[in-house]
Structure 1
């Protein structure tokens, strides 16, 4: 596949010298420049004072707004930087004035933290949670969604879906959902935590009112940083769940005025060094090009799925019209936690995904309580895939031999 030099990409990623990293859906390996700029910022804070260096690094602190705006096709004023993707998502969700009988439409693959928030509001005020079915190919069913939108006397208060689940590789048709949301005037919140950084995202084409994402996963930025896209129309209609003296100004004894753009969603105290690192990470992705990144990740994931499927006893669980870099699997007779531990002993990072993270999906397809998740990135190689396959095969062989001895 034509594109940037593979070895150059790996030289710029120091972690590749220590581990084979297939946990990019958890936290990816940053490039050296991301590490360097964070160290520089933290050292300046220690030498000159935390408040004081904000002015000194004003250009670097503006960089994530500009680079994310370029990545998502919006204006920098539509971007907010927060402590995490969950913080960003919650600033939107809990800011919507939900009341008894309001309907929330969500997805089968909805992330556990989001669904708990729905349940909390169901308990607090009596909202109804309605799950949009999937079609036969494993994508979100747009005809079923339109039926849900139009049925009943009250249109939904919110459509809130996850773009890519934490436990498998399928990618929902977020733009199709957006077309229906806009046509019927329903607010639309998209959790892009696992999709941003691995596939092209255009918020204008998607048609979402809000999009939440994280730095640490496929964008390869620091931990402790998340972000939010908020459309102009959404900001006109809804306030953030929480405002502080950064998101708003106390203008009179009984009045306040919010920031004019998406920074109204921000809280002043955040990971400033992480913000600087995020700006570098997103700029790096923009320079590589999301079309190239997406094609490369898909090719590596296809190769991994194909080789895993040929291992006796291994079942690959990814299903969908469009699949991404998250590859989920189990091996008959071998606990997923044991697989993760044995691979870790050989310097191979994978993760297990639990039923509590995506309960509706696990229960619908009768998955075991845990699956193994190997999430690839563009810096992974064919040799690394081969080492994973050999190590996984050995885990099964060792387990079989142990049972025979017993």
Structure 2
């Protein structure tokens, strides 16, 4: 580590992956986990009754611009999305729209919805600049579109989608509107009423810096009514201690004054580094910057930055399987900023990144030739060879893909016209 530059300090540039939990949040999580271990879950629920049934919903309502009665604490955005869609009453004549920026987890849930209901799954096309084609949406929306799913900010790049404009296009029609705000809540304003969505989901451990396995959902009355005849809203609440810690994180977030945006400086640091390529489609970007280098693999860039005390994320194409693989992206580095970062952090990142990509690549490992097998002594009689059992070759480390080589039986994803 460069002592002159970093000392013992680590620069955390990964709130999009896992925000640094504030000390107060960590203390709440630890305190109530110990309490449950000593007194049991029933005593824990009684002690946290006001937190779980009032405080956390007031904080979520303030964060999301929604009535407290529409907010739910859950185990995470992907879990809430899957739970709601598992009971959504669609049919074979319904169309469902997703986008090329959909996450692997949500796309897997949409495939399951299609398999269960026979609905038609379509992908909204992009403009040449990477933005969603809102004119296409306005032309093709109709009574047979039952559900539209849009990530506010996708995980694989920093584009910000115009979720409020999309809501205005969809408002006169029957379709339900779902927005994944996992990578937006805590770094961008989120107002469910202005967006006009019926389902808004998010994770508490990213920019909000709460504990893992604690997230939230905002569910509009119309969606709750649609699910009522089919078993209601099957959301699983987080563990009591995790919910209390999320409540503390929400309270701390609400008390933090806004600071000067650091994303442009982060983006400039990448652009000023020779050999790097930004993965930044669209006209509006968030505090997430994704890039790759023409020579140095993303995993090595991440490790070298970590050696310099800079924490970033390595992302793989299959996290956004309808967008990144088609653009030749296999792996990339993702950096992101939070309000607790400083301009000095960006300067240190810029210095560390230049060092990471200019150092020589490691020489390929040389493996010695295998030794010849020892000869079998002639005194040992040999037995007839037995039929061999085929063994699968070790797969090694491979990336999961949700895009099959052959179209599934229910039909491929339908691209926009």
Query: What is the TM-score normalised by the length of structure 1?
Result: 0.83
Equivalent in the alignment of 2:63: 71
User: In structure 1, what is the equivalent of residue 136 of structure 2?
Assistant: 144
Structure 1 residue 199: Cα displacement = 0.6
> 1:202-213 counterparts in 2 under 5 A?
202-213=191-202
Q: CA deviation at 1:363?
A: 3.6
Deviation at 1:374, TM superposition (A): 0.4
User: 3-state SS of the aligned residue for 1:157?
Assistant: strand
Stretches of structure 2 that go unaligned for 5 or more consecutive residues are 1-6, 365-417
Residue 27 of structure 1 is matched in structure 2 by 18
Candidates 340, 364, 367, aligned match of 2:328: 367
1:104-143 equivalent positions in 2, closer than 5 A: 104-143=96-135
Aligned length: 357
In 2: Cα distance, 1:76 partner to 1:17 partner: 43
Provide the residue aligned with 1:42 in structure 2: 33
Q: Give the superposition deviation at 1:203.
A: 0.7
- Supply the distance in 1 between the matched residues of 2:153 and 2:168 (Cα, whole angstroms): 18
Secondary structure of residue in 1 paired with 2:359 = helix
Two-structure CA RMSD over aligned residues (Å): 2.1
Structure 1 residue ranges (4+ consecutive) displaced by more than 4 angstroms after TM superposition: 400-403
For the pair 1:284 / 2:252, whether they are aligned, the reply is yes
Work out whether residues 334 and 399 of structure 1, in 8 Å CA contact, stay in contact via their aligned partners in 2. Answer: no
TM-aligned CA deviation for residue 48 of structure 1: 2.1
- Displacement of 1:240 in angstroms is 9.3
SS at match of 1:184: coil
1:275 is the counterpart of 2:243 = yes
Per-residue deviation, 1:60: 2.5
Structure 1 residues not aligned, in runs of 5+: 1-15, 244-257, 259-263
Instruction: Name the structure with the higher helix share.
Output: 1
Corresponding residue number in structure 2 for 1:357: 319
Cα distance in 2 between the residues matched to 1:328 and 1:373: 4
Distance in 2 between the 1:123 and 1:235 partners? 23
Does 1:332 find its partner at 2:310?
Answer: no
Deviations 1:304-346 (A, max 9, x none): 1112111111111212221101101111111001111111222
Measure, in 1, the Cα distance between the counterparts of 2:128 and 2:67: 37
Whole-angstrom CA distance in 2 between matches of 1:240 and 1:119:
23
CA deviation digits over 1:234-261, x for unaligned, max 9? Answer: 21222497x6xxxxxxxxxxxxxx6xxx
Q: TM-score, normalised by structure 2?
A: 0.81
Counterpart pick for 2:338 among 367, 377, 383: 377
Query: Is the Cα–Cα contact under 8 Å of residues 161 and 190 in structure 1 kept in the other structure?
Result: yes
Task: Tell whether the 8 Å contact from 1:95 to 1:240 is kept in structure 2 after alignment.
Answer: no
1:175 has 2:161 as partner: no
Provide the rounded CA distance (Å) in 1 between the counterparts of 2:245 and 2:229. 25
SS of the residue corresponding to residue 171 of structure 2 reads helix
* Cα offset, 1:401, TM superposition: 9.0
Q: CA deviation at 1:376?
A: 1.1
Matched residue, 1:194: 183
- Out of 348, 357, 361, the residue aligned to residue 387 of structure 1 is 348
In 2: Cα distance, 1:319 partner to 1:335 partner: 21
